[in-house]
Amino acid sequence: MDVKLLQRVKVLDTDHLAQTVLEVLQTEGYQRPLFVMDSFLAQVPLVQETQALLEKSGITVSVFDQVVSDPPAQTIRDGVTAFGAAHADSLIAIGGGSSIDVARGINIVRVNGGDILDYTDTQKSIEPCPGLIAIPTTSGTGSELSNALVVTDVATEKKVAILADNAVSEYAILNPDLLLSLPKKMTIATGLDAFSHAAEGYTSRLASPVTDAICEKVMFLLYNYLPRAVENGHDREARQRVMVAAALAGWMLNNAGTNAGHSMAHILGSKYHLVHGEAVAYALPGVLEQVAPLLPHKVAEIGQILGVAYAPTDTLSERCNQAIKAYQHFRDDLVGLHPFNDYRISEEELVTNAEAVANEQFAGNTPGEMNKQVATKLLTRFGCRA
């Protein structure tokens, strides 16, 4: 199989957000951007300063600030209407994964037509969609570099993913100042989401030696800097390192994919309203247990990244067990994720979702057999603690 390592997004790391956004628009000749974000971000001074500089420089700014968490398809439809009403020529998505996903969905429909749910059909082509400038305000989803958007189909109460290399951002602008006030709970959830992107990509059927090297670095950065960002949100160095790790992890989504951890998060998240980054973090130990017999050296390597010093006499199986415990220690103690028991969902209830998990689109990336029995085993380990 050919090794895939595509990267089409122009990535800018900046200390001067407003000026950088202006320069990007001027470089590409965009004159009428539509800002896509939630109502809270519309009031953030740094966002308002950026809009003011653009207006002062002759750029016509319009705003669509109706983004909500786990956005339904209707939000994208409303955004397409807003794009047309503003006669916009580009999109500036500011926010977490929801804002960037909505903007990507708007971009797909405004270029290709139809309804966003049409593109859940993998056979439906998506033509190149230029004009999306993504500015993340969380460090986890990696949407600024990924080729995916996740949208909630209200009719089925399911989160569905649309994958499109032709709909990635044209630019991703990274500015850690946007993260300094990110709440602790969101810092934890989004940071662990990024770690899961790397760990699942590392243990995916789609992994390759080149993606492995990047996933290893992402996990290293998050192990070393996420606890610092959680402890002190104004630690700008930690915020910047975590932001870079999250962006690289988003890039790996395009090239190495995810596996059953994200399948569980998508199914359980939409049904029980679990925070996505928390859900993938609860899922990861079970996933590592499942793949350890097939990828023991990789699981053991994750342990080394997480600071485990193996004894020369340790068997591969023992090293894998230590690696999984090290991740749980990192997740629960160093980063501080709250226990899954807080959601008050029983194991008996979780396993009723086994068939849906086994059939979710990313589950097939998990090495080994994937069926209802395997998914049941994974769900019994969901949220387990060391």
Q: Which domain holds residue 364?
A: 184-380
**Residue 4, domain member (yes or no):** no
Q: What is the dihedral of CA 261, 263, 264, 267, to 10 degrees?
A: 160
State whether 164 and 243 are in the same domain.
no
pLDDT of residue 6: 79
- Is there a single domain that holds both residue 155 and residue 224? no
Q: What CA–CA distance (Å, rounded) separates 229 from 226? A: 5
26 and 175 in a single domain? The answer is yes
Q: Specify whether the CB–CB gap between 102 and 132 falls below 8 A.
A: no
Q: Which of 179, 197, 217 is the last residue of a domain?
A: 179
Tens of pLDDT, residues 170-189: 999 999 999 999 999 999 99
pLDDT of 127 over the 90 cut:
yes
Rounded Cα distance, 207 and 215, in Å: 9
Q: Where are the beta strands (DSSP E) in the chain?
A: 10-13, 33-36, 62-64, 90-95, 132-136, 148-153, 158-163, 171-174
210-257: pLDDT as tens digits: 999 999 999 999 999 999 999 999 999 999 999 999 999 999 998 999
208 lies in a domain? yes
Assigned token pair, 6: 């595509």
Do 191 and 269 belong to one domain?
yes
Residue 55 CB burial class (10 angstroms; 0-12, 13-18, ≥19): exposed
Confirm whether 385 is domain-assigned.
no
Answer whether residue 268 is part of any domain: yes
| Distance in angstroms (rounded) separating the CA atoms of residues 359 and 220 | 32
- Whether 311 is in a domain gets the answer yes
61 DSSP assignment: P
Report the distance separating Cα 49 and Cα 26, nearest Å.
17
The CATH number given to whatever domain includes residue 174 is: 3.40.50.1970
**Predicted pLDDT of residue 160:** 84
Q: Give Dmax (Cα) for the chain.
A: 68
Which pLDDT score is estimated for 270?
85
Identify the pLDDT of residue 2: 62
Question: In sequence order, what are the residues at sequence separation of 6 or more whose Cβ sits closer than 8 angstroms to the Cβ of residue 382?
Answer: 264, 268, 282, 283, 286, 340, 350
- Alpha-carbon distance of 233 to 299, in angstroms, equals 30
Same domain, 231 and 129: no
Are 172 and 279 within one domain? no
Residues 222 and 174 in one domain: no
One domain, residues 309 and 330: yes
Sort 354 into a burial class: Cβ within 10 Å, 0-12 / 13-18 / 19+. buried
Check whether residue 339 and residue 250 sit in a common domain: yes
Q: What is the pLDDT of residues 306-353, one digit of tens each?
A: 999 999 999 999 999 999 999 999 999 999 999 999 999 999 999 999
Q: Are residues 130 and 212 in the same domain?
A: no
Domain contains 386 = no
**pLDDT > 80? residue 4:** no
Structural domain ending residue among the three candidates 179, 212, 233: 179
Of 141, 161, 179, the residue at which a domain comes to its end is 179
The residues with which 134 forms a beta bridge, in sequence order, are: 93, 172
Confidence category of residue 131, pLDDT binned at 50, 70, 90:
very high
Average pLDDT, the chain: 95
pLDDT in tens, 155-174: 877 788 898 889 999 999 99
DSSP 133-166: EEEESSSSS-TTT-SEEEEEETTTTEEEEEE-GG
Q: Name every residue whose Cβ is closer than 8 Å to that of residue 189 and which is 6 or more positions away in sequence.
A: 140, 275, 276, 277, 278, 281, 337
Do 223 and 244 share a structural domain?
yes
Give the count of domains, the chain: 2
Range 154-180 burial, b when 16+ CB lie within 10 A, else e: eeeebbbbbbbebbbbbbbbbbbebbe
3-state secondary structure of 207: coil
Q: Are residues 159 and 195 in the same domain?
A: no
Q: How does strand 171-174 pair with strand 10-13?
A: parallel
CATH of the domain at 351: 1.20.1090.10
- Give pLDDT, residue 3: 61
The count of C-alpha atoms lying within 13 angstroms of the C-alpha of 292, restricted to the half-sphere facing its C-beta, is 22
Cβ–Cβ < 8 Å for 79, 21: no
Residue 263 falls within a domain, yes or no? yes
Which residues does residue 35 pair with via DSSP β-bridges, in sequence order?
A: 63, 92
In a domain, 68, yes or no: yes
